[in-house]
Amino acid sequence: MKLLDGKAVSRELLKKVKADIDHYIEKKHLGYNLSRPSIAIVMVGHNAASESYVRGKIKACERAEINHKIIRFDESISTFDLISEIKILNKSHFDGFIVQLPLPDHIDPKPIINEISAYKDIDGFHPLNFGKMALGQKAMRPATAYGILKLLEYYDITTKSQHVVVIGRSNIVGKPISIMLGNDFEIGRSTVTSCDINTPKALLKEEAQKADIVIVAVGQAGFLTADMIKEGAVVIDVGINRLKSGKLVGDCDFEEVSKKAGFITPVPGGVGPMTIAGLILNTFEAWKMKHLIEN
């Protein structure tokens, strides 16, 4: 078994992004004096998990030397007022921004996400970006799914013609990773089976046991067990669950599954840092688009 070290891979990607930004700035692309990319992180209220995630995003910005600002609003802000603030950010100098989820219960996240300019949507959640991604066109990609692809690429794990089982159909992870791995991207061209916790257990087990790569994102500790995978399978554990003891675990029984898997992501330190790397890669793309920089 080999660990897929998202923390280490994320650091390497951030180092490359910084170097690429330095290159364009030093070259004075199109004769302009370019400023470094900048992002805003919108936070509503004080969700403890969100505070932790945002700290990780700030550290990543610092590694890539991307300017950043946290914009905070009281938990009582109305949907109307939050949308008004989003419209201001759409016209701001920031190259990209995110609205940290989850939002308070009285705010439906869908209209908030839809209001974000697709060109500044570094989370990759806007319907225009999602649609372009599904069609195989260049777009800001959903950050977690994008991070998973970059992790597979770094470890030279073949996806072409491989059988992939994705357990979970969320708009944030399950749907986009299923589409991206089945698409004709540089990492993709897989045969993908989409399942979730409502898939009959026997059928789910049957499908997962055939898979070369299993991606699990259901938010249930210990959901994927060793008897559900074949020997040498690649296991990508997207889940993050806090036990009563305070320990953070994923959606698979790591101790047992790791004995059978060929590759596996740890929790924490696997997909989480790669999600942030995906966010930074999207920021870099948004900055390049703004300044008409070609790849």
CA atoms within 13 A on the CB side of 123: 19
**pLDDT score at 47:** 85
H or E element at residue 195 = strand 191-195
- 16 lies in a domain? no
**pLDDT score at 251:** 97
**pLDDT score at 246:** 86
One domain for residues 170 and 212: yes
- 22 lies in a domain? no
The residue segments making up the domain with residue 95 are: 30-117
- 5 lies in a domain? no
How far is residue 279's CA from residue 172's CA, in Å, rounded to a whole number? 13
Catalytic residue among 5, 18, 57, 253: 57
One domain for residues 93 and 174: no
How far is residue 59's CA from residue 115's CA, in Å, rounded to a whole number? 27
H or E element at residue 144 = helix 143-154
Residues of the chain with pLDDT under 50: none
227 is annotated as an active-site residue:
no
Catalytic residue among 5, 18, 100, 175: 100
How far is residue 176's CA from residue 21's CA, in Å, rounded to a whole number? 27
Catalytic residue among 5, 95, 123, 212: 123
Q: What is the CATH number of the domain that holds 112?
A: 3.40.50.10860
Place of tokens 């004769």: 31
One domain for residues 40 and 161: no
**pLDDT score at 29:** 60
Q: Residue 114's closest CA among 105, 106, 123?
A: 123
- 233 lies in a domain? yes
123 is annotated as an active-site residue:
yes
- 201 lies in a domain? yes
Enter the pTM of the model.
Answer: 0.94
For 114-156, the pLDDT digits (tens) are: 999 999 999 999 999 999 999 989 899 999 999 999 999 999 9
- 18 lies in a domain? no
One domain for residues 148 and 194: yes
How far is residue 168's CA from residue 144's CA, in Å, rounded to a whole number? 13
**pLDDT score at 292:** 75
For 183-197, the pLDDT digits (tens) are: 977 789 999 999 999
Q: What is the CATH number of the domain that holds 167?
A: 3.40.50.720
57 is annotated as an active-site residue:
yes
Number of structural domains (the chain) is: 2
**pLDDT score at 291:** 82
One domain for residues 100 and 151: no
- 171 lies in a domain? yes
Contacts of 87 (CB under 8 A, 6+ apart): 115
